[in-house]
Amino acid sequence: MYTRFFGFKERPFKMVPDPAYLYLSRTHQEAMAHLAYSLKSGDGFVQVTGEVGTGKTTLCRAFIQRLDERYEVAYIFNPVLDPIELLKAINDEFGIDTEPDNARALIKILNAFLIQAKRNGKQAILIIDEAQNLSRGVLEQIRLISNLETSRDKLLQIILFGQPELEQTLDSQPLRQLRQRMTLSARLRPLTLKETRAYALHRIQVAGRTRGDPFTSGAMRCVYRFSGGIPRLINLSCDRALLTAFAADNKQVGKKEVRAAVEELQYQIPAHGASRSVHRIGQAALASVLLLVVAGVLLMVTGIVPASWMSMENWKTSPPSAQVPVRVTIHEIPKPPTGHVIHGDTPVDVKPAMQVVSLDDVISSEDGYLLRQSALHTLLNLWGLPSQNPSFLESIDDDAMFVRLAANYHGLSFLRLVNDWTMIERLNLPAIIPIQSQSDDVVRMLTLSGVTSDGYLFYVGKERLKVIMSPEDLARFWTGEAFILWKNFLAINGVIPRKTNGESIITLKLLLRDIGFNGIEIDAVFDETARRAVMAVQEKNGLPVDGVVGTMTKIALYNEKMSLNIPKLKQ
């Protein structure tokens, strides 16, 4: 063949969907960013669609190659299966029992596997390629297994790759429930002329050529007119043009060779008419090539966020007054069982007989160090995390440092606020609040877990007493500090746009689109559209409106994404 003649190590335009040759056009970059975002956010359903030959399978396989040992992957290709066969195929891909011949038993086995994977810190993903071939019955079965979940997380993430017919099927009335679960979708589109040139050159370089591009600009324009920017058609025409040039002993591939190649493929590429609609020509060429593929190219492998806020003026730290006893209403609640999540927005009913005592009676009975540990454990439980006591924390005297290090140990981020109760409410996250006792001047820690019509809800001590205090009473005891733990779900790093990376900008833009800003273009540029969207979120949440994405703006953005499991002071 022509490989050595043109200085290739292998044919650059093979029809095999090789991830090594993946070229990321704008829409391919956007699709890959959607997939990466879905892994970070844990969204249950994602779909990637595109016309025949736009590179879905190549993208799919490249995505799978990027997954590491943190993921368990089941990959189903060309699934012309019935519901039972699909369940068996999924179990087989995960390496679990496939023997039962009924859906209930197979799903039970799958569910047990997924629960164990979650316990092991792994994320299970089901990827189905050529999903337009799925019958309605199979799609309904997929909807049912998507219900496998814990109280906080989906156990199985599902990604569908398919042709536009998949979208049409999902839009049908019988499948509206499944369609509503699609949290992210991306569409692969034909390449532009500029992208077509870059695509061809990329493949040539991957194939090992170091002497430049053998295709002239005119040749690539012909390729684009013929292919309409469809990668598979680009491959077909470029491969044949290289062969034509090789047969004529030409080291350069020009318009003449491309036209001859197309004629050999039984196509007629007009010598003129560059002003014709590229999409119309591309569609016609696509239809013709499909006929050719069916007829003779059997070697081709196709294979991959304003609400009203209950707030107060910023409080200034005031010395505690011993002459005015503060009374609080308390009610003891049972400790939650292991693994149970206490929700800050669903306080336990306190209608049974209340007891009125002074705050000092509540907190002075326990050692300040023990109260600090209890406050931390309670806050971690609100986040659904197991509370651990690493030994290195025992020697930390500084309270802020203690909470910061504990947050880092448990995979959370830390924010310290000073004399700004209004911001505590606006961020709407539970917090550790230092309280200074009137009797012994010792600072002790309480966990702020909710805001009610009666005041602020705290959990106190290892017995987790429920304490409700009015703003006026609380102001006499509060030291002015607040320690907030939050989770950087999508790993948006740095401060955007001042100090960050392209991946974080792409993730931010996907998040903005996900929470309702549909005009966001997915790329690594923090443009004016993205900045204005950020400012809108800041304004809505009562934050400084500067368009800069720092810690508090990230918290506000995550609070806007309803599918994230975030404990809140109030809904």
Q: Specify the higher pLDDT residue, 263 or 423.
A: 423
- Decide which of 122, 153, 188 is a domain's last residue: 188
Question: Is residue 327 pLDDT above 90, yes or no?
Answer: no
95 with 178, same domain?
Answer: yes
406 with 425, same domain?
Answer: yes
Q: How far apart are CA 492 and CA 554, in angstroms?
A: 8
Q: What are phi and psi of 315, to 5 degrees?
A: -85, 140
Q: How far apart are CA 189 and CA 66, in angstroms?
A: 22
Task: Report pLDDT for 268.
Answer: 46
Question: Is residue 539 pLDDT above 70, yes or no?
Answer: yes
- Decide which of 130, 157, 188 is a domain's last residue: 188
Burial class (CB in 10 A: 0-12, 13-18, 19+), 291: exposed
Q: Which domain holds residue 532?
A: 502-560
Average pLDDT over the chain reads 81
In this prediction, what percent of the chain has a pLDDT beyond 70?
81
Q: Which residues sit opposite 349 in a β-bridge?
A: none
Q: Which domain CATH number covers 470?
A: 3.90.70.10
| Residue range 468-518, pLDDT digits in tens | 888 887 888 899 999 999 999 988 999 999 888 888 998 999 999 989 898
SS3 449: strand
- Decide which of 295, 310, 344 is a domain's last residue: 295
> What are the distances in angstroms from CA 255 to CA 5, 194, 225, 283?
19, 17, 11, 21
134 with 248, same domain?
Answer: no
Label residue 332 by pLDDT band (50, 70, 90).
very low
Read off the pLDDT of each residue in 295-312 and give the average, rounded to a whole number: 34
Read off the pLDDT of each residue in 64-84 and give the average, rounded to a whole number: 90
Task: Report pLDDT for 360.
Answer: 60
Instruction: Pick the range with the lowest mean pLDDT from 84-98, 215-229, 361-375.
Output: 361-375
469 with 521, same domain?
Answer: no
Tell me if 21 is assigned to some domain.
no
DSSP state of 47: E
Instruction: Pick the range with the lowest mean pLDDT from 117-126, 176-185, 288-297.
Output: 288-297
Tell me if 450 is assigned to some domain.
yes
**How many domains does the chain contain in total?**
4
37 with 179, same domain?
Answer: yes
Task: Report pLDDT for 392.
Answer: 83
174 with 209, same domain?
Answer: no
Tell me if 211 is assigned to some domain.
yes
Question: Is residue 107 pLDDT above 90, yes or no?
Answer: yes
Tell me if 157 is assigned to some domain.
yes
Read off the pLDDT of each residue in 370-381 and give the average, rounded to a whole number: 90
Tell me if 149 is assigned to some domain.
yes
361 with 394, same domain?
Answer: yes
What is the C-alpha R_g of the chain? Answer: 30
211 with 337, same domain?
Answer: no
Task: Report pLDDT for 545.
Answer: 95
Label residue 362 by pLDDT band (50, 70, 90).
low
Tell me if 492 is assigned to some domain.
no
Tell me if 494 is assigned to some domain.
no
Read off the pLDDT of each residue in 212-221 and give the average, rounded to a whole number: 93
Q: Which domain CATH number covers 102?
A: 3.40.50.300
143 with 197, same domain?
Answer: no
120 with 69, same domain?
Answer: yes
184 with 239, same domain?
Answer: no
Task: Report pLDDT for 353.
Answer: 39
Q: Which domain CATH number covers 553?
A: 1.10.101.10
Label residue 237 by pLDDT band (50, 70, 90).
very high
Question: Is residue 329 pLDDT above 50, yes or no?
Answer: no
127 with 261, same domain?
Answer: no
Task: Report pLDDT for 427.
Answer: 96
Label residue 96 by pLDDT band (50, 70, 90).
very high
Question: Is residue 114 pLDDT above 90, yes or no?
Answer: yes
Tell me if 20 is assigned to some domain.
no
